[in-house]
């Protein structure tokens, strides 16, 4: 099977994180695993990302960054038009709408995307330069649509409004229409793409997140030392994730307060950062459990397996926001691979991955009492914890390893290339027929 030359277009922050090796955000971790998996299967990857509002940078080894040359967007008339439009927008109090910046990026992408077989882009708000270049160059374009970022802003209480919302929606529509294939992470995300964004269901592939089953595994060296340093000889419960609106750390803290009443030596380790971390620290103090709760902050992804492996129970708590739960929690698959018993919210894709009582425990969203009961029951039953963890590990190795994921992704790429070639062939055949009819 022939190998591919893939342009892997990602946000600038993801490229910086990959270059530094300090991966903490789930999106950056996910992209790094996908890229490594594709390279491992022999494909050539060029990592491509915007630099500011004007330039496109690319690299094949994440060390030497090359700025793509630009041509017409460097011309005096383009710079004058851009500057004049921005002055008028400020006078009219119109927000910056990324129109000219996308044309500058389009110019850069036109210089660095040729010679590739396919372009894979992670969708980003207000960015359409890569999709524009793929249309111009007739390159197969696969769009990774991790989440509806407009909806995310709504859920987080900072909705995009007015012209910014209008512009964001237009950019999303452009990218989705340009895409030969769209990859999303859950059935709920696919439903939103079809119902809200009117994407043809036939061009959508649903790929839940995955895990490195070799890095995340039971019995890692130094796990016992990590456990002793965090909990001594007491039970250890862990949460790994961001302190954002959709993570229900508040309910976890309330449940843990009940657990400490029965298991006074228990410790809860919270790994991650985010807008609500300070509020959660305050909540722990209000509940009188701050001495038993350890806020670890951001931890490099390479250090996470030992933390997960040291815990008796790993928790994935989520809120019911009133919208369909579109996420595919990376942490859930890592918990399962690490050989730690999982307690998670019964919501969205989690219900498809965790079978209650077989490979984990599910609790209703927002129910601190049910969560506390589940935690206490598992702490009382070490044999049950081991059995749940064993089955979870087996399931995730079989169905959700990055090796499995990348093999499926590879087929999506090849289908996008085949479809593009078929459309080009059909277009060539139509042209002579039209010429004959005209004659």
Whether 169 shows a pLDDT value over 90: the answer reads yes
Q: Report the SS3 class of residue 316.
A: strand
Element housing 5 (H / E): strand 5-9
User: Could you give phi then psi for residue 274, rounded to 5 degrees?
Assistant: 155, 180
Please give the CATH superfamily to which domain 5-210+403-433 belongs: Glycogen Phosphorylase B; (3.40.50.2000)
**What pLDDT is stored for residue 17 in this prediction?**
53
HSE-CB for 362 with a 13 A CA cutoff:
15
Question: Predicted confidence band at 110 (pLDDT cuts at 50, 70, 90)?
Answer: very high
Q: Report the SS3 class of residue 86.
A: helix
Cβ(219)–Cβ(250) below 8 Å = no
Helix-helix angle 12-20:26-40, to 10 degrees: 70
Whether 19 shows a pLDDT value over 90: the answer reads no
Question: Predicted confidence band at 52 (pLDDT cuts at 50, 70, 90)?
Answer: confident
Domain-wise residue ranges, the chain: 5-210+403-433, 223-399
Whether 36 shows a pLDDT value over 60: the answer reads yes
**CATH number, span 223-399:** 3.40.50.2000
CATH topology agreement for domains 5-210+403-433 and 223-399:
yes
Mind listing the pLDDT tens digit for each residue in 134-158?
Answer: 999 999 999 999 889 999 999 888 9
Cβ(267)–Cβ(227) below 8 Å = no
Q: Looking at per-residue confidence, does 187 or 19 come out higher?
A: 187
CA 153, 154, 158 angle in degrees (round to 5)?
60
Average pLDDT for the chain: 93
């Amino acid at each position: 099977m022939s190998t591919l030359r893939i342009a892997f277009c990602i946000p600038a922050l993801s490229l910086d994180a990959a270059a530094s090796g300090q991966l903490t955000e789930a999106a950056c971790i996910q992209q790094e695993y996908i890229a490594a998996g594709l390279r491992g299967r022999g494909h050539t990857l060029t990592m491509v990302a915007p630099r500011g509002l004007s330039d496109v940078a690319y690299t094949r080894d994440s060390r030497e960054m090359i700025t793509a040359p630009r041509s017409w967007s460097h011309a005096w008339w383009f710079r004058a038009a851009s500057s004049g439009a921005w002055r008028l927008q400020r006078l009219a109090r119109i927000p910056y709408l990324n129109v000219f910046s996308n044309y500058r990026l389009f110019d850069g992408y036109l210089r660095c995307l040729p010679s590739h077989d396919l372009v894979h882009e992670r969708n980003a708000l207000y960015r359409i330069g890569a999709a524009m270049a793929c249309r111009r160059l007739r390159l197969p374009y696969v769009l990774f649509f991790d989440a509806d970022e407009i909806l995310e802003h709504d859920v987080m209480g900072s909705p995009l409004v007015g012209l910014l919302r209008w512009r964001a929606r237009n950019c999303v529509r452009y990218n989705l229409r340009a895409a030969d294939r769209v990859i999303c992470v859950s059935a709920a995300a696919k439903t939103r793409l079809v119902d809200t964004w009117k994407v043809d269901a036939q061009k959508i592939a649903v790929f839940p997140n995955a895990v490195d089953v070799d890095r995340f595994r039971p019995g890692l060296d130094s796990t016992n030392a990590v456990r002793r340093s965090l909990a001594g000889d007491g039970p250890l419960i862990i949460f790994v994730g961001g302190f954002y609106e959709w993570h229900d750390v508040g309910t976890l803290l309330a449940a843990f307060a009940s657990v400490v009443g029965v298991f006074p030596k228990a410790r809860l380790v919270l790994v991650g950062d985010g807008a609500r971390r300070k509020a959660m620290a305050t909540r722990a103090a209000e509940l009188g459990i701050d001495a038993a709760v350890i806020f670890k902050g951001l931890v490099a992804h390479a250090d996470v397996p030992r933390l997960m492996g040291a815990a008796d129970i790993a928790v994935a708590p989520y809120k019911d926001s009133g919208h369909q739960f579109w996420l595919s929690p990376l942490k859930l698959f890592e918990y399962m691979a690490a050989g730690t018993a999982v307690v998670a919210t019964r919501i969205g894709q989690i219900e498809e991955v965790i079978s209650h009582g077989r490979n984990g425990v599910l609790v209703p969203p927002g129910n601190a009492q049910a969560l506390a009961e589940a935690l206490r029951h598992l702490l009382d039953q070490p044999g049950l914890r081991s059995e749940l963890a064993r089955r979870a590990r087996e399931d995730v190795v079989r169905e959700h390893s990055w090796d499995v994921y990348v093999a499926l992704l590879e087929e999506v790429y090849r289908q996008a290339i085949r479809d593009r070639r078929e459309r080009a062939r059909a277009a060539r055949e139509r042209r002579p027929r039209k010429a004959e009819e005209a004659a």
